[in-house]
A and B are shown apart, each in its own frame.
Chain A
Amino acid sequence: MALSNEYIKEKLAAKFGDQVTGFEEQYGVLSFRSDKELNLKVLNFLVEEETLQFGFLTDLCGVHYPDNKGQEIAVVYHLHNMRENVRIRYKVFTSIAKPDVYTATGIFAGANWMERETYDFYGVNFIGHPNLKRILNVEEMDYFPMRKEYPLEDQSRIDKDDEMFGR
């Protein structure tokens, strides 16, 4: 395979120096992170650079790490170079108090709903998004349900009287 993870790493290091960090390889997929302010620059570089051409946004989602103070929420981009069949994982972290991240809709049209989904569940405010509103949950909802502070229902709760379901 022409496009090795080592090469991608070198290219990123040459362009962004130590602004792109956290390189690691898990199950063959190169993963790295940068400051959230840089996300569009990094994404653009990955798409436009002639030898990289990660032109396909496979997936975009959020993850909540409550113990990671100041950088609680991660936005994870999975990019794919279809010609070489290489995937990479790019993460930016943002604080939960001010979860502002620039939108990738300008680069990938498909990011639109994926970002709406991430907003819906984690409350990430994608700056510049054309239509940032809830997509799967009801619009009246006033919290972001996938955050870790909302546990699933306790199976042993007794205030519910529902004989049909045995509790």
Chain B
Amino acid sequence: MSDNVLLPSGSIEKQTTTLNLGPTHPATHGVFQNIIELDGEKIVAADSTVGYIHRAFEKIAERRSLYQITPLTDRLNYCSAPINNMGWHLTCEKLLKVQVPKRVDYLRVIIMELARITDHLICNSIMGVDSGAYTGFLYVMQYRELVYEIYEEICGSRLTTNIGRIGGFERDFTNTAFEKIERFLKEYPAVLKEFEDLFTRNRIFMERAIGAGPISAERALNYGFTGPNLRAAGVDYDVRAVAPYSRYEEFDFEVPVGSTGDSYDRFLVRNGEMWQSLRIIQQALQKLNDLKGEEATVYHADVPEYYLPPKKDVYTKMEALIWHFKIIMGEINMPAGEVYNAVEGANGELGFYFISDGGRTPYRLHFRRPCFIYYQAYAEMVKGAMLSDAIVVMSSMNLIAGEMDA
């Protein structure tokens, strides 16, 4: 079979058809290419090409100060940029040994879980779109909009958020932000329920998704899968539960797992995680309410060397102005050391391997991008399947070009 694939097109012996899914195919939702070799409608071989939007973030990061790297992380998985930002800030905090107050952790948890919901919501609803059901996508989209309004209220931007600082947040959450979070918690469950009703037991959707692109737990681990895709295969590995950060150990939540690792299980796991995220946000709000005294108002750690001084002081006080410049231009030497820090991104374990040689910028910064690592299994997962399965598998894996190409 594979000899056949290598034959030049147009040769008489060639029995198969080569089809390009991408780089700009409606189903890729990003820029990457799948070259698929078809025998009739059956896939006999597949190959993937990535790198169309490679922006050399790791190289650029070697010349940038810590805060100048945050906007780069936005552009990895842009469907859940706040998780990337916070993962990066947590890595810096680990290197710099910064302790953050309780309240900051809870606020971060709220934002990270909101981001997880928006990411899963896009993935699942787009999976619907790709299998022919547009309605669900439109139902849930207004709640992504609401989450983006919450981001906007907190940091001023929506998609590429650049949210937070080393040690906390740039400003406290406003009342409007809390009101919007409450509103989201109140209204979203009904919408998610409706979305579920449209898909979960929908015969057409089930026929499309069940058995499409399955992967065993063993293969998934061998391929370096993490996140919902690994959990769909039946491995309950979740960084939030196994190696908690930001006080996730204080929260009560379940880790949904699947069993077959097919597209349907991936859909269900993401769906289950959205419910768990809602639970976590609910608990975080409760914990915020329980805080007393000074603990209840603090929104950043006391790290003057890395936390920007208030803008008001920057304009009026010399000392603050100097520190503002020092921090922005990265004129502070960091401690030397190597640190690997991982957070549970929406796609899986998002890791930052940070080597500091004691200078002002990272000596080497490597992003462990979950998407990049699990996408290589795609060829194996669709082999032997129908062309239409390839589309569903692609959208159920949640492939984000920005994260793949860094």
Contacts and interface: CB of A to CB of B under 8 A. Distances in A.
A135 B224 contact: no
Contacts of A136: 50-51, 54, 405-406
Contacts of B51: 134-138
A26 B221 contact: no
A4 to B, nearest CB: 16
Instruction: Label chain B's interface by main secondary structure.
Output: mixed
Interface stretch (B282-290, B368-376, B388-396): B368-376
Interface in B186-237: 219, 221-225, 235, 237
Instruction: Label chain A's interface by main secondary structure.
Output: mixed
B59 A58 contact: no
A152 B338 contact: no
B376 A112 contact: yes
Interface string B26-68: 0000000000000000000000001100101011101100000
A76 B223 CA distance: 18
A97 to B, nearest CB: 21
A152 B60 contact: yes
A143 interface: no
Among the interface residues B60, B221, B337, B405, which one has the most CB atoms of the partner chain A within 10 A? B221
B144 interface: no
A134 B62 CA distance: 21
Contacts of B273: none
A7 B405 CA distance: 38
Interface residues of B, number: 42
Contacts of B58: 121, 146
A78 B353 contact: yes
B6 interface: no
Interface stretch (A15-23, A35-43, A81-89): A81-89
A158 interface: no
Interface in B90-120: 94-95
Contacts of B62: 152
B262 interface: no
A117 B342 CA distance: 20
A27 B337 contact: yes
Q: What 5 A-B pairs come out closest when comparing CB atoms?
A: A110-B224, A136-B51, A136-B54, A61-B366, A59-B368
Given A58-B368, A82-B237, A108-B224, 11 more contacts: A27-B338, A29-B340, A55-B221, A58-B342, A59-B368, A78-B368, A89-B338, A109-B224, A110-B377, A136-B54, A138-B51
13 contacts: A56-B221, A59-B353, A61-B366, A63-B355, A109-B222, A112-B376, A113-B376, A136-B54, A136-B405, A137-B51, A137-B54, A138-B51, A151-B63
